[in-house]
Chain A
Amino acid sequence: PGSRLTPTGAGQDVGRSCILVSVAGKNVMLDCGMHMGFNDDRRFPDFSYITQNGRLTDFLDCVIISHFHLDHCGALPYFSEMVGYDGPIYMTPPTQAICPILLEDYRKIAVDKKGEANFFTSQMIKDCMKKVVAVHLHQTVQVDDELEIKAYYAGHVLGAAMFQIKVGSESVVYTGDYNMTPDRHLGAAWIDRCRPNLLITESTYATTIRDSKRCRERDFLKKVHETVERGGKVLIPVFALGRAQELCILLETFWERMNLKAPIYFSTGLTEKANHYYKLFITWTNQKIRKTFVQRNMFEFKHIKAFDRAFADNPGPMVVFATPGMLHAGQSLQIFRKWAGNEKNMVIMPGYCVQGTVGHKILSGQRKLEMEGRQVLEVKMQVEYMSFSAHADAKGIMQLIGQAEPEHVLLVHGEAKKMEFLKQKIEQEFRVNCYMPANGETVTLPTSPSIPVGISLGLLKREMAQGMLPDAKRPRLLQGTLIMKDSNFRLVSSEQALKELGLAEHQLRFTCRVHLHDARKEQETVMRVYSHLKSILKDHCVQHLPDGSVTVESILIQAAAHSEDPGTKVLLVSWTYQDEELGSYLTSLLKKGLPQAPS
């Protein structure tokens, strides 16, 4: 029993979440993310550590994916189709729908820019998705006869979920990425007071009290508006799905309100499908969107049109969403090159960019970029960075811990220094142990499992016969014999146990020899012992039996001559364990000797 946890990714870092958790012997992989900063196998977690012996499919009971971001699901096709995991994968229906789009989008980027080795194919993504089992919110899914999982709303992105993993009385909750404050299209994360043994929470903003996302949204709209007003073009590099739709909602509403005419284009050709999913999973959005859904679906964009490559050369202002999001290949990079030289234009990077991309370069302030063939591109356009990621800040994390009331907390998906700070805060405030293992470090949590035991009717009746009624507030000690059969425990009376098991009863007796200086015959010595005990133990039944022995309750005393010394008699004292106390007392009494006989 107990839980064991080892992060192979997201342990004191943000990059490729992959956490192995073992709950009461069931092994689950939480997320299977990739790191976009590498072009080789280092982008994926090192799966060779999962099991040194045997097949992955035999070792892992299931994989759970918290949401569709690539740092949480990007290694999934690699894991299932190339490493060879053939078991079930669980995720929510929106994640199930959106995940392959993003994986496909990223695969295309990887193949497009070339030089990427050992990458999965389209067919692998499809085959991987065929292994997925959808989990609806608050639905308890039985993975097997012992392991069950349950999803809770996590905010963050459409379909993001926190998962409770339960085996018998032991449970672990994994938050994935979550957001405790509602935003323009999603609600706040919520979990019931499930009191898990362990809560594994992300801690991206462990030390931050974040400003409202609305401020960032206002800022974004202001910047786009100003650029468009002065006739400039705005490029927003995005990945096909997720942030793109969030920003589309913002612009669509703003354009409508301000009656703006500048065209907004979405370049990937995926708008239709993406919006289809946002419409389909409207119940996963926030209350406001759900309420207004009847009048107008927020994801039916009037102002946003599909982009054609020819439009990039059109004069006048425009806003273009183009993939990929880090300006490392394809269309977004082509448009960027075209527009970079004009200071009226603007590029807004709405997310993190890894090193080795043009996005990373311009965000670090580089303005003269070397292009192919030693050409230099001078970046005159404005460069803006706006993080729209929706993670719980320190306050939110504390709030969630308060809601779930876990026995232990474990921090992942964050920086070590920030985690350290939050860890102390959690330990102080909630008086629970908080852990922050690095990748490869294992945290073992001993738990006290409650094991159900059935009580026999006979035993219960005997207890009832003593006249005491059961009282839930007063636990009572019940004595009996514990029988374990077919993995079941039962408490029965010892008689019943003997009967059931077909065993004979054996008596355990303690024996002791006491030497007495007495030259008289054995019978006389016995009589003296009898008289002595009779006079001392007035409340006990002392008997002198015809065979010459003396009994006090279950204690038996016999006298024998000493083999070597005729002046000494040996008293053999024997008693059952029930009369242990009396037996010890008698022995010590006899050892003191007998009173002198009256002369």
Chain B
Amino acid sequence: MDPECSRLLPALCAVLADPRQPMTDDTCLEKLLDWFKTVTETESSLLLLQENPCLVELLSQALKFQDVSSRILSFSLRLAGIFAAQENCFQFLQQGELLLGLFGEAGPLGLPAWNVPSVRSGWIQGLCSLAKHPSAEQFLVDCGAVDTIFSLQEDSSLFVASAASQLLVQVLSLSIQGRATPQLGSSDGDWPSCAQSIVGYLEESLRSGATPQITQALKVLTTTFGRCHHSWTEALWMRLSPLVTCLLEKDTVPTAHSLADLFLSMARSPTFGSSDCDLWVTLAQTLSCLSPTQAGPLALGILKLHVCPQALKTQAFDVLLQPLACVLEAAAQVPGSSGLPDGTGSNPTMADALLASTSSCAALLCQSLAHLGELQALPHSPRPWPQVLLLEATMMTLRFCSGSAVPISSVGGRLCGILASCIRVQRAALDFLGMLSQGTGACEVSSSVMSHTPHPSSVPLHVLSGWDSADPWVPCFPEAQACTFPAGTWKFLGWGCWGVHPLASVPGPQESVTQVFAILLEYLRSPESSPTVLKKAFQATLRWLLSMSKACGSNNPDPHTQPFLRELFPVMQKRLCNPCWEVRDSALEFLTHLTTHWGGQPDFREALLASDVPELTQQLLQDPEAYVRASAVTAMGQLASQGLHATPSGPEHPGAKQKSLPQELLHILSLDSEGFPRRAVMQVFTQWLQDGHPAMAEDLEQFMARVFQVVSRDLDWEVRVQGLELARVFLAQTLGPPDCPYAVALPAATPPTSPAEVLRTLGRVQLLEFAFRALFDCDRPVAQKSCDLLLLLRARTAPGGGLQGAECNPEAVTVEAALRAWQAGEQGQPLGELVPEVVVAILRALDLEGLQATLAESSDHVEQSPRSLLQDMLAAVGALGGHEADCY
């Protein structure tokens, strides 16, 4: 411990122990505990207490006053626990009976302060810290703490009850693992007494018939099986399983979520997951008896398991698919299903739940879509993955929401009414639609496999059932039934039924993709689409375009998506003029992504330039909303990088507009009142410089000088940091590639041959002035960035040999004086043009390494130090009475 802290401790302990000095700031006490925790991680707690007896005194004081403040009592309990975590210190505190006083029945349990949740929480946290060694277990039994922990399981505070549950697991584990019990059986005598009482408590709770008790017991078991993977957990389950499984036999399972959590926790445990127990049967039983909403998370959990019987996974997958099966069923012309294999497809309970109300329908669909999305992203997503039907169901859901579906059945009509304009479902469906573009799904959709894809309009489906097919698109069972539906009368026949006869005449992959793009366009175009829905539609569109492009094996958009792009840009035009800034911004972000990926592709360029999108984007540089201006800057930067930022100019003014864009961005950098657009401008300049953009190549030095001049005065430190990033790129390019393997050289910029020439160039572009000034910036990241930059410069231009410095040069003296002034926070005079020798001298004179080490710390590390904390707590006594927290 820092000697200064040790010196301050007695006074602080005296203040804390004094009930007349109320400590109002909880954060200080929390930070104090953090500090003690850190100290005891590396030092002996016993030694700490022996060297600082005031701490023991503080702990004793906590029990002496009936009216001790709840804050201090809670703090003392937690502190005692931290110290007693080390066994020798535990013995030391035990000798003084301090621990018994604090945690025993005669302790705070009898005080009025026990009614305060933070005291109960402190008591639990103290024991949690303490219960780490064998001596602790006996102590817990002796002081009757276990009974108190039982009573706290149903505490009125969620935080306390949850912590008590964790503690119970810790004590159970400590009790069993602490001894070399060879085999735990079902008889009470086999179990250590402490563990026996805990198991007895759990049995009693499970038998109680009261939901809160059962839930809490199940939570304890969930945590136990989640944390402990020893064989004793199996013995524990053997004892409790009859009580737990009989909960499933009730008409409505009262603790469905907790049961699901428990079984999943067991399934994840190596003890149970791999053993030949009835767990899988229980999971299957649970899945079938839970309501659709309750079963969803369990089904997802099962599908995420690495080890699990296939049949159970099939059942779980069906649960997740059921809401979408209902949607497809509702979309079908013939109401009521025929030929649905058992256990797959929609079921009446699900249909009832979906049609009950908008809320329940939205909840079920959103849950299902989100869970399927989560599954789709997993490396071990269920196989076969019913890509085509999921696509159909998702698109149908979106059509129901937008009102573009023409329901044929009465169920469809009702669903249409329920989902009409339901933003929540629209968002979830668009999210999932976007995800369906990824991974196995999209590639397969876009590859040859899609040629087997059924289409609802005129598909002769060869219905199959079963799950064992390696390829989802190929029939796997010889007993497949063939059902043919005339155009427009297709119907959903269950999720296990997507095998298609290879000879069937089905539409190609493009038709499905076309449908996806059609629905996306519908949403992008619709005036009804809310800004959040539009954002999701943009995201989904981008994912599909990327996926199509990836499937084609190049960066070009899929050739079949050209018609889509031609329709997309007029929609974009509208969206760029939308009155909501959110929409304009999302559209610009989308445009930037599009251009980044396909800006070089001729068809894309043609479609884009045929629209007014580039002009509108340029106009948005003047948007009243800063976020939009920033996105417009980024989009324009990207368009310009690809030579797309203006309509094809006439032969008389070739490239006229291209010239003006850097100036326009410089204008924004100089005058925009907000940081976002200015930051965006700096990012564009940096990108252009890295890419060797022609706009930057022309009179680069003059342009850079102008930029550095402007950016060094910027009020936003993040813009200054961006400026230094630009300076770093410029420096790297000026220094040339051989020494800096990561730098990209400008084709036009010939690497200077000598360090002196480099320094002269940097001086001309005002980079040195900017960097030196930034070195003492009051905003730490700026100074740090500058320090890194100057270290790089010094390493390359003023290493041990090479250029000689001019330490005694009067110019160097002036510069050093200016730097000192800046360091003192004064403005000082501009440095003017610096000769290379002077720069080298300054670089050598500056303690850049020392500065770098200082800047690596946070700017408030002194105020945040333990010493400062102790000083603050002492100073606050009596001084902050009137300065209570109200609001920020």
Interface positions of A (Cβ within 8 A of B): 6, 13-15, 35-39, 42, 46, 49, 52-55, 57-58, 69-72, 74, 86-88, 104, 108, 111-116, 122, 126, 129-131, 144-146, 177, 204-205, 239, 267-270, 272-273, 306, 309-310, 312-313, 325, 328-331, 333-334, 337-338, 351-358, 360-361, 363-366, 370-373, 385, 387, 389, 391, 415-416, 438-442, 487
Contacts and interface: CB of A to CB of B under 8 A. Distances in A.
Contact of B863 (A46, A204, A357): A357
Given A126-B585, A330-B778, A108 B864 contact: no
Nearest to B294: A53
Contact of B825 (A71, A74, A312): A312
B778 A42 contact: no
Contacts of B627: 126, 129
A438 B717 contact: no
Contacts of A86: 427
Interface hub of A15, A309, A357, A440 (most chain B Cβ within 10 A): A440
Interface hub of B717, B826, B888 (most chain A Cβ within 10 A): B888
Interface in B784-843: 825-827
B709 to A, nearest CB: 15
Contacts of B871: 361, 366
A146 B418 CA distance: 13
Contacts of B532: 88, 130-131
B854 A177 contact: no
Contact of A130 (B25, B159, B366, B531): B531
B359 A145 contact: yes
A58 B116 contact: no
Contact of A355 (B366, B778, B869): B869
B859 A112 contact: yes
Given A114-B781, A391-B886, A53 B297 contact: yes
B366 A53 contact: no
Interface stretch (B321-329, B651-659, B722-730, B872-880): B872-880
Contacts of A387: 883, 886
Contacts of B859: 112-114, 328-329, 333
What range describes how many residues of B lie at the interface?
Answer: 35 or more
A440 B715 contact: no
B367 A360 contact: no
Contacts of A69: 887-888
Given A38-B27, A122-B676, A355-B872, A372 B367 contact: no
Given A14-B886, A15-B885, A370-B868, 16 more contacts: A14-B885, A69-B888, A108-B717, A112-B781, A112-B859, A130-B535, A330-B717, A330-B778, A333-B859, A334-B825, A338-B825, A355-B27, A361-B868, A364-B880, A372-B854, A439-B157
For the complex of A and B, the 4 pairs showing the least CB-CB separation, nearest first, are A115-B858, A440-B159, A37-B27, A269-B715
A357 B860 contact: yes
Nearest to A358: B863
A331 B825 CA distance: 10
Contacts of A306: 715
14 contacts: A6-B158, A57-B370, A71-B887, A111-B781, A112-B717, A146-B359, A204-B886, A204-B887, A313-B826, A356-B869, A361-B872, A366-B872, A415-B884, A442-B158
A113 B674 contact: no
Contacts of B673: 269, 272-273
B468 interface: no
A473 B25 CA distance: 56
B362 interface: yes
A345 to B, nearest CB: 15
A116 B861 CA distance: 11
B582 A55 contact: no
Contacts of A146: 357, 359
Interface string B332-352: 000000000000000000000
Nearest to B418: A145
Interface in B352-406: 356-359, 362-363, 366-367, 370
B277 to A, nearest CB: 24
A216 B723 CA distance: 43
B156 A112 contact: no
A72 to B, nearest CB: 8
Contacts of B12: none
A530 B241 CA distance: 67
Interface in B705-727: 715-718
Contact of A36 (B162, B778, B875, B888): B888
Contacts of B525: none
B31 interface: yes
A391 B885 CA distance: 12
A130 B538 CA distance: 14
Contact of A330 (B24, B30, B675, B779): B779
Interface in B416-471: 423-424, 427
Given A145-B357, A356-B868, A130 B717 contact: no
B261 interface: yes
Q: Chain B binding site: helix, strand, loop or mixed by DSSP? A: helix
A58 B364 CA distance: 9
Given A54-B296, A55-B367, A69-B888, A361 B863 contact: yes
Contacts, number: 226
B153 interface: no
B260 interface: yes
Contacts of A272: 673
Given A38-B27, A370-B868, A356 B863 contact: yes
B749 interface: no
B888 A363 contact: no
B888 A351 contact: yes
Nearest to B864: A356
Contacts of B156: 441-442
A440 B158 contact: yes
B780 A114 contact: yes
A52 B301 CA distance: 14
A337 B825 contact: yes
B880 A356 contact: no
B617 interface: no
Given A330-B779, A364-B879, A441-B157, A268 B370 contact: no
Contacts of B305: none
B95 to A, nearest CB: 35
B864 A365 contact: no
Contacts of B27: 35, 37-38, 354-355
Nearest to B423: A88
Contacts of A87: 424
Contact of B862 (A46, A71, A370): A370
A309 B888 CA distance: 26
A269 B261 CA distance: 52
A439 B871 CA distance: 29
B158 A331 contact: no
A441 B826 CA distance: 54
Nearest to B871: A366
B295 to A, nearest CB: 11
Contacts of A15: 885
Contacts of A37: 25, 27
Contacts of B157: 438-441
B315 interface: no
Contacts of A354: 27
A373 B296 CA distance: 58
A364 B717 contact: no
Contacts of A6: 158
B593 interface: no
B886 A389 contact: yes
A1 B26 CA distance: 37
A6 B715 CA distance: 43
Given A115-B860, A313-B827, A361 B363 contact: no
A40 to B, nearest CB: 9
B367 A58 contact: yes
Nearest to B875: A364
B694 interface: no
Contacts of A204: 886-887
Contact of A58 (B257, B366, B854): B366
